[in-house]
Structure 1
Amino acid sequence: MENTDPMATRPPETLDETVNSDLESLSRQLGEYETKLAEMRETVLRERAELDNQRKRLQRDLEQARRFANEKLLADLLPVLDNLERGLAAEVGDPAALRSGVELTLRELIRVTDANGLKTAGAVGEPFNPEHHQAMSMVESAEHPSGRVAAVMQKGYVLNDRLLRPALVAVTK
């Protein structure tokens, strides 16, 4: 049987040199891979820190948005508040003048709420809508057909197509 191992025919000195050279090459490669691994670990740590910072920033922004969500509405309501305070401070002997001032303030309040997306729900004569109305009673009416709002006991309100409070109504039979 013939020996086919290429190393078997070499002298021992050449064999040691080959092993040493292979060992040095492998050691060099190992060092390069360890350096690359360290760089990758550093990159991963930086990316994690960046994601964590971004998450904290978004959380802080969301908190700020929640805290100041009503800022525009409240700024719009300040003139209404001022008018009410001026009305209370005024010495008015005429009830008609007081009523006129209250009506002006109410119109200003309605203007502000309309501008901020608040609409009323529940007008006499409109069809009964169980999504916007809560029937408190059934009444007979000659002026309205069946299934219509005959009377409104309390107005309902819708904010940007979302019901805030249903209208309390009497419905015709």
Structure 2
Amino acid sequence: MEVDKNLKSPESNEELEKENHDYNTKDSQTEELLKKKEAELKEVDSQLLRLQADFVNYKKRTEKEKEGLISYGVETIACELLPILDNFERALESQDDKEDGFYKGIDMIKQQLFDTLKNNGLEEIDALNKPFDPNYHHAVVMEESQEHEEGTIIGVLQKGYMIKDKVIRPAMVIVCK
């Protein structure tokens, strides 16, 4: 009778159990390590998403601030140039000879200045024969008139201007009472 060499003695069964135990211990340690690494990965992924969102918000905020600064700069320059534009208009109104070359030159300069401001968002407030609106008009004089309804603007003493939706100078007007 031959003895099977593959059969092991009881001592080797204990060794097998010990190896199995060691293997199971290593396997559970690997699983714990894997779970720990997955948790770290999720945390890093979450941080990355928050960082990306913060960056997008930062980018939007800086763009808005940049537009605000540009708008503020245009508004500041426009406010400083409006009295010059008014003086050009007064000079033109006082001139009798409208065909004179000097008159035409001053008119061209005034128009060029106004066009430059208009290209940067300046708009004239249309006031004459419109209903009085305290958001856009500054009533200086109240006069009676048979031709107009009460509350209608019958004269403009100084033009008003706005940039986009913001009034930078209300129109000084005469209102019918």
- Normalised TM-score (structure 1): 0.57
- What's the CA shift for 1:120? 1.5
- Normalised TM-score (structure 2): 0.56
Match of 1:110, SS state, is helix
Contact 1:122–1:152, Cα closer than 8 Å, also in 2:
no
Contact 1:122–1:132, Cα closer than 8 Å, also in 2:
no
Alignment match, 2:84: none
Alignment pair present for 1:163 and 2:167: yes
Contact 2:121–2:163, Cα closer than 8 Å, also in 1:
yes
Shift of the 159–65 alpha-carbon distance from structure 1 to 2, 3 Å rule, reads: closer
Deviations 1:24-52 (A, max 9, x none): 32122223334434544554565566566
* Distance in 2 of aligned mates of 1:60 and 1:145: 49
- What's the CA shift for 1:64? 5.5
CA RMSD of aligned residues (A): 3.9
- What's the CA shift for 1:150? 2.2
Contact 1:151–1:169, Cα closer than 8 Å, also in 2:
yes
Contact 1:144–1:172, Cα closer than 8 Å, also in 2:
yes
Alignment pair present for 1:105 and 2:109: yes
Match of 1:147, SS state, is coil
* Distance in 1 of aligned mates of 2:157 and 2:27: 92
Match of 2:173, SS state, is strand
Contact 2:127–2:137, Cα closer than 8 Å, also in 1:
no
Contact 2:161–2:167, Cα closer than 8 Å, also in 1:
yes
Unaligned runs of 5+ in 1: 1-10, 78-95
Shift of the 38–154 alpha-carbon distance from structure 1 to 2, 3 Å rule, reads: same
Shift of the 30–158 alpha-carbon distance from structure 1 to 2, 3 Å rule, reads: same
Alignment match, 2:26: 24
* Distance in 2 of aligned mates of 1:134 and 1:149: 10
Alignment pair present for 1:124 and 2:128: yes
Match of 1:169, SS state, is strand
* Distance in 1 of aligned mates of 2:159 and 2:42: 64
Deviant stretches of 4+, over 6 Å? 11-15
* Distance in 1 of aligned mates of 2:66 and 2:134: 37
Work out the percentage of aligned pairs sharing the same amino acid.
25
